[in-house]
Amino acid sequence: MRCAECGWKYPESFLHELFISGNYTEPVCGICALEMSNKMIGINRIMFKGEMAESIRQAAIRWRRNHPADKPTTN
C-alpha cells in the first residue's frame, strides 16, 4: 500500500488512519501522521511522545532508508 499523503509504498501494517476534525483520513505513514497532527494543532514536534506512535514513525524512517525503490515516482 502507499501512504495517502506522501505516496511512499509501505507494508500495510505501517499505515494507519488518523482521526482529524471528526473524520478519519486515508491510511498514512508515521512520518506523515506527525506532520499532519502538528499542522492540525499548530505545533512543531520532531517526534511523538507516545511509544507506539513513535515506534511506527521510526519504522517508516527505517523503511525509507532501506527501500529507496518504494519512493513515489514524479512525472
For 25, residues 6+ apart whose C-beta sits below 8 A from its C-beta are: 4, 5, 17, 18, 19, 36
Place of cell 519512493: 71
**What does the pLDDT look like over 36-71, one tens digit per residue?**
999 999 999 999 999 999 999 999 999 999 999 999
CA distance 29 to 61: 9
Across residues 23-35, what is the average pLDDT?
97
- For 1-75, strand residue ranges (E) read 19-20, 23-24
pTM of the model: 0.92
Phi then psi dihedrals of residue 23, to 5 deg: -135, 155
Where along the chain do its domains lie? 12-70
